């Protein structure tokens, strides 16, 4: 088997997480599969999608699992099949009670298929119960399977979460859950990419919003999220002759590590922009322009891009960009980081012959996000004192996790102020 492309394991949890995962898996099975067929016909590689990409979907709701394209053997149903009503602590207990099933399903779908991943993505909405509550447990089990069993070297293994924030109208419990999710998931990840439903929703034209139902809005947002993350999943693949500039797991890991200031993982967002090509196949917008558009208008949540500590830049297009343009774009971005003091921009370049455009995707690591500050303030105002949540009938939360809303909101606030 040709394993020159870094292998990927992607796990989606809960309704939002599994739907975004499903979009990523479909993209792999269609578009990426075609790219690899072309690469095989050119003798560049012998790789097939199944050789490097594996996905597993987990939910407590059977109906949500049944609508996915992800095959039966890659789905995990835990709990009674009817969801668990937006309570992450309760769901975390269910996940803990099903650790063997989760571990076995991950193992069969990865090691059982010869996949020893260097990239791991965990996708979940943060506002619900199942995805938010089960994802910290899944993150620990992923470590057990790949790190504790010495399947991969931890230095080459990057574990990135993609967390969906609720819409603005989803207040109360959704917002509390979102902070619970970040606080419990972040220590178990290298980085957590925030994708903000409200931010995407505000960018959908008013006429469209007035015409469509919520599932169509979810689909549109999920497609936008896919556009943002897809280059992270293909930048290391042998799809063209010019493969010396890949963005590898260690590049992403080191970008994120550079932004780390505490035991928690690093909060990140992505930014993206694209430009059509002219008759000669060059990008119509300059690369610097594209990078500026990506961080100013194309982010996955509102972000103060100059506050980012480090960044990773992936450029994709039908040919390699001109080196002078590339240098200018990288140095512009680097000069903006750390409030203008400058920072490192790691970069990669994917040449995709079937592309009719140039595209940039930027990971901003350790970046300030006003929505998160707002969430913290709102949850503090809502929960006020250190009153615990109402008791749940079973599945006691493990003793290492604080159960009091006020307590963890305090801890999270302290941590985020030090960011």
Ligand X SMILES: Nc1nc2c(ncn2[C@@H]2O[C@H](COP(=O)(O)OP(=O)(O)OP(=O)(O)O)[C@@H](O)[C@H]2O)c(=O)[nH]1
Residue ranges in contact with Mg ion by CB under 5 A: 15, 61, 83
Closer by beta carbon to ligand X, 225 or else 313: 225
Alpha-carbon separation of residue 3 from 36, 154, 251, 400 (angstroms): 13, 18, 18, 39
Give the chain's end-to-end CA distance (angstroms, integer): 43
Nearer to ligand X, 176 or 368 (CB): 176
170 counts as binding ligand X under rule CB under 6 A: yes
Binding string, 17-56, against ligand X, x = CB under 6 A? --x-------------------------------------
- Give the tokens for residue 48: 């097939």
Residue 354 C-beta-side C-alpha neighbours within 13 Å: 10
Residues in contact with ligand X, counted by CB under 6 A, come to a total of: 26
Answer for which of 96, 197, 243, 249 binds ligand X (CB under 6 A) is 197
Query: CA nearest 229: which of 260, 274, 282, 272?
Result: 272
Answer for which of 49, 58, 68, 86 binds ligand X (CB under 6 A) is 86
| 37-66 b/e (C-beta count within 10 Å ≥ 16 → b) | ebbeeeebbebebebbbbbbbbbbbeebbe
Indicate which single residue of 15, 235, 249, 310 sits in contact with ligand X (rule: CB under 6 A).
15
Q: How far is CA 370 from the centre of its chain?
A: 19
The interface region with ligand X, picked from 167-175, 231-239, 271-279, 331-339 by CB under 6 A, is 167-175
Q: Does 68 bind ligand X (CB under 6 A)?
A: no
The pair of structure tokens assigned to 161 is: 């979460």
Instruction: State which residue, 271 or 366, has the beta carbon closest to ligand X.
Output: 271
What is the enclosing helix (H) or strand (E) of 220?
Answer: helix 214-234
Q: How far apart are CA 403 and CA 236, in angstroms?
A: 41
Of 35, 65, 68, 84, which lies in the binding site for ligand X, with binding defined by CB under 6 A? 84
Please give the helix or strand (H or E) that residue 32 lies within, else none. none
Stretch 245-274 residues interacting with ligand X (CB under 6 A) = none
φ, ψ for residue 250, nearest 5 deg: -70, -35
Which of Mg ion, ligand X, none does 265 bind, CB closer than 5 to 8 A by kind? none
- Choice between 204 and 277, CB closer to ligand X: 204
For residue 243, what are its two tokens?
A: 């493969």
Q: How far is the CB of 19 from ligand X (least distance, A)?
A: 4
Nearer to ligand X, 127 or 402 (CB): 127
221 binds, among ligand X, Mg ion, none (CB under 5 to 8 A by kind): ligand X
* Smallest separation, CB 113 to ligand X (Å): 26
User: Sign of torsion, CA 406 410 412 416?
Assistant: positive
Burial code (b: 16+ CB inside 10 Å, e: under 16) for 379-401 equals bbeebeeeeebeeeeebebeeee
Q: Which stretch binds ligand X (CB under 6 A): 40-48, 214-222, 292-300, 320-328?
A: 214-222
The position carrying tokens 């903000």 is: 196
Name the residue nearer to ligand X (CB basis): 126 or 352.
126
166 binds ligand X per the rule CB under 6 A = yes
Does position 181 interact with ligand X (CB under 6 A)? The reply is no
Among 177, 180, 364, 179, smallest CA distance to 267 is for: 364
**CB 201 → Mg ion: shortest distance, Å?**
19
Measured from the Cβ of residue 22, the count of other Cβ atoms closer than 10 Å reads 20
Are the CB atoms for 202 and 189 separated by under 8 Å? no
Q: According to CB under 6 A, which residues from 317 to 376 bind ligand X?
A: none
User: Does residue 130 touch ligand X according to CB under 6 A?
Assistant: yes
Under the rule (CB under 6 A), what is the footprint of ligand X?
14-16, 19, 60-61, 83-86, 125, 127-132, 164, 166-167, 170, 174, 197, 218, 221-222
């Amino acid at each position: 088997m040709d394993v020159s492309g870094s292998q990927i394991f992607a796990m989606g949890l809960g309704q939002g997480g599994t739907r975004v995962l499903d979009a990523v898996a479909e993209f792999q099975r269609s578009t990426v599969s075609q790219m690899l067929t072309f690469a095989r016909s050119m003798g560049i590689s012998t790789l097939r999608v199944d050789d490097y990409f594996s996905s597993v979907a987990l939910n407590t709701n059977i109906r949500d699992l049944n609508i996915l394209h992800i095959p039966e053997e890659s789905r995990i149903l835990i709990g009674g099949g009817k969801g668990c009503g937006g309570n992450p602590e309760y769901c975390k207990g269910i996940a803990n009670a099903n650790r063997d099933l989760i571990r076995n399903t991950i193992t069969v779908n990865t090691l059982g298929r010869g996949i020893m991943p260097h990239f791991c993505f965990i996708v979940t909405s943060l506002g619900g119960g199942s995805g938010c509550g089960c994802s910290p447990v899944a993150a620990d089990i992923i470590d057990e399977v790949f790190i504790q069993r010495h399947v991969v070297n931890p230095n080459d293994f990057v574990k990135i979460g993609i967390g969906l924030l609720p819409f603005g109208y989803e207040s109360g419990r959704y917002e509390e859950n979102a902070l619970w999710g970040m606080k419990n998931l972040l220590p178990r990840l290298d980085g957590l990419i925030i994708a903000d439903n409200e931010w995407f929703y505000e960018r959908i034209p008013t006429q469209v919003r007035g015409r469509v139902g919520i599932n169509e809005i979810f689909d549109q947002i999920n497609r936008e999220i896919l556009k943002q993350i897809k280059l992270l999943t293909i930048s290391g693949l042998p799809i063209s002759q010019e493969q010396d500039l890949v963005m590898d797991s260690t590049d992403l890991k080191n970008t994120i590590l550079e932004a780390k200031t505490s035991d928690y993982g690093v909060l990140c967002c992505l930014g993206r922009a694209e430009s059509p090509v002219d008759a000669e196949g060059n990008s119509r917008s300059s690369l610097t322009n594209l990078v500026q558009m990506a961080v100013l208008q194309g982010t996955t949540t509102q972000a103060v891009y100059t506050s980012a500590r480090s960044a990773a830049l992936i450029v994709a297009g039908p040919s390699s960009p001109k080196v002078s343009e590339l240098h200018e774009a990288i140095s512009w971005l680097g000069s903006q980081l750390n409030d203008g003091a400058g920072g490192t921009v790691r970069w990669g370049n994917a040449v995709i012959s079937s592309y009719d455009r140039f595209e940039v995707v930027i990971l901003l690591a350790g970046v300030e996000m006003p929505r998160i500050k707002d969430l913290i303030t709102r949850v503090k105002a809502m929960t006020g004192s250190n009153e615990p949540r109402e008791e749940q009938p079973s599945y006691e939360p493990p003793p290492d996790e604080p159960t009091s809303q006020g307590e963890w909101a305090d801890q999270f606030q302290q941590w985020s102020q030090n960011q």
